[in-house]
């Protein structure tokens, strides 16, 4: 990102603990400490104080809680703003933006509790507008695809940019090479063009000839999870009420299984219930009116997905 001038946080990498520690002692909080390798979604800490940052650094580089994934650590400037997931289809040349979404990782309302695979999402973000859309495409997505090409590693498919929209514009926190989950559940229902046509054009390098259309509707998705998730949980409980929903409600099955005609829970995140509406508020109202009709033992879900007054 630095090489290609793609907006991101200022950061420095270290493979020596003593140097990282010395550097950290000269920073002011909050500060972000990241294990460089894969850490099952637990590798990033936003430290509120320098002692906390030092403790995290030691656990990664000295105690090696992530093993070799912590051989290198990135110490990064804290960015404040609103977080958003942006997406684009690309055949390595053409870049077609998708609609963006916001997701909710912590398990409880008000972003409390441990992180999960995602407890819900909505699209479009309430703070999204055409100016932001243009900046994201021109300053992040297009330069990223171009940079990958110039690096001799052309990227095709769905590009996911995890962005912090700061007062200084959007900055990249991370990339993923896939649709986000649970973002896909609230972006794909808004897609009017056939996804197969888009993917074929990606494969055949003629994405520039495709006209991708999106619905203006807002979409809200809420995950219903098993008791105990994201910790340990039991499965095999009957799910009732799936046939009692308003007919425009979508239910995505994630952790379910069918046994002698009965749908049973079979995972931590069991279902995502999705509604569309003319506004975010309408979609939200529809989701939360339908969720109580679905039941399984111990089920829990966040009550504040797409709640605008939280300022998120």
Ligand X SMILES: Nc1ncnc2c1ncn2[C@@H]1O[C@H](COP(=O)(O)OP(=O)(O)O)[C@@H](O)[C@H]1O
Please report, as ranges, the residues that interact with ligand X according to CB under 6 A: 9, 32, 41, 43-44, 46, 76-79, 83, 162, 173-174
Q: How far is the CB of 83 from ligand X (least distance, A)?
A: 5
Question: How far is the C-alpha of 183 from the C-alpha of 124, rounded, in Å?
Answer: 10
Q: How far is the CB of 32 from ligand X (least distance, A)?
A: 4
Contact (Cβ atoms closer than 8 angstroms) between residue 274 and residue 188: no
Contact (Cβ atoms closer than 8 angstroms) between residue 227 and residue 234: yes
Structure tokens at 207: 């994405």
Q: How far is the CB of 25 from ligand X (least distance, A)?
A: 19
In DSSP terms, 162 is beta-bridged to: 85, 174
Q: How far is the CB of 152 from ligand X (least distance, A)?
A: 25
Of residues 186, 192, 181, the one with CA closest to residue 275: 186
Q: How far is the CB of 37 from ligand X (least distance, A)?
A: 11
162 or 189: CB nearest ligand X = 162
Q: How far is the CB of 42 from ligand X (least distance, A)?
A: 7
76 or 183: CB nearest ligand X = 76
69 or 92: CB nearest ligand X = 69
79 or 305: CB nearest ligand X = 79
Q: How far is the CB of 256 from ligand X (least distance, A)?
A: 25
112 or 209: CB nearest ligand X = 112
24 or 299: CB nearest ligand X = 24
Q: How far is the CB of 107 from ligand X (least distance, A)?
A: 15
Question: How far is the C-alpha of 108 from the C-alpha of 133, rounded, in Å?
Answer: 30
Of residues 77, 74, 73, the one with CA closest to residue 27: 77
Helices (H), ranges, the chain: 17-25, 50-61, 130-135, 142-150, 184-187, 195-203, 280-290
187 or 276: CB nearest ligand X = 187
- Give the start-end residues of each E strand in 39-168: 44-47, 73-77, 82-90, 95-97, 102-103, 106-108, 112-115, 120-123, 157-166
29 or 154: CB nearest ligand X = 29
Task: Give Cα 287 to chain centroid, integer Å.
Answer: 20
Instruction: State the CB neighbour count (10 A cutoff) for residue 195.
Output: 11
Of residues 102, 156, 107, the one with CA closest to residue 124: 102
| Residues constituting the chain | 312
In DSSP terms, 4 is beta-bridged to: none
């Amino acid at each position: 990102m630095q090489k290609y001038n793609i907006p991101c946080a200022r950061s420095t990498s270290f493979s020596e603990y003593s140097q990282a520690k010395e550097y950290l002692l000269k920073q002011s909080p909050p500060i972000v400490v990241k294990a460089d390798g894969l850490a099952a979604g637990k590798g990033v800490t936003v430290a509120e104080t320098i002692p906390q940052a030092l403790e995290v650094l030691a656990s990664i580089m000295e105690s090696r809680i992530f093993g070799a994934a912590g051989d290198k650590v990135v110490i990064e400037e804290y960015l404040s703003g609103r977080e958003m997931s942006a997406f684009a289809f690309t055949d390595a040349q053409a870049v077609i933006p998708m609609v963006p979404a916001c997701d909710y990782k912590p398990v409880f309302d008000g972003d409390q509790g441990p992180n999960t695979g995602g407890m819900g999402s909505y699209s479009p973000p309430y703070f999204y507008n055409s100016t932001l859309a243009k900046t994201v495409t021109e300053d992040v997505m297009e330069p990223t695809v171009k940079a990958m090409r110039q690096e001799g590693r052309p990227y095709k498919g769905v590009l996911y940019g995890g962005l912090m929209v700061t007062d200084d514009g959007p900055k990249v926190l991370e990339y993923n090479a896939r649709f986000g989950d649970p973002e896909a559940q609230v972006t794909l229902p808004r897609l009017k063009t056939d996804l197969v046509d888009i993917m074929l054009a990606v494969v055949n390098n003629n994405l520039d000839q495709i006209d991708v259309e999106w619905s203006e509707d807002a979409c809200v998705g809420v995950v219903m999870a098993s008791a105990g998730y994201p910790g340990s949980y039991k499965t095999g409980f009957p799910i009732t009420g799936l046939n009692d929903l308003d007919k425009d409600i979508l239910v995505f099955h994630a952790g379910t299984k069918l046994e002698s005609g009965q749908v049973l829970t079979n995972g931590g995140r069991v279902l995502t219930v999705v509604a569309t509406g003319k506004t975010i508020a309408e979609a939200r109202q529809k989701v939360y009116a339908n969720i109580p009709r679905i039941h399984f033992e111990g089920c829990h879900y966040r009550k504040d997905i797409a709640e605008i007054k939280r300022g998120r």
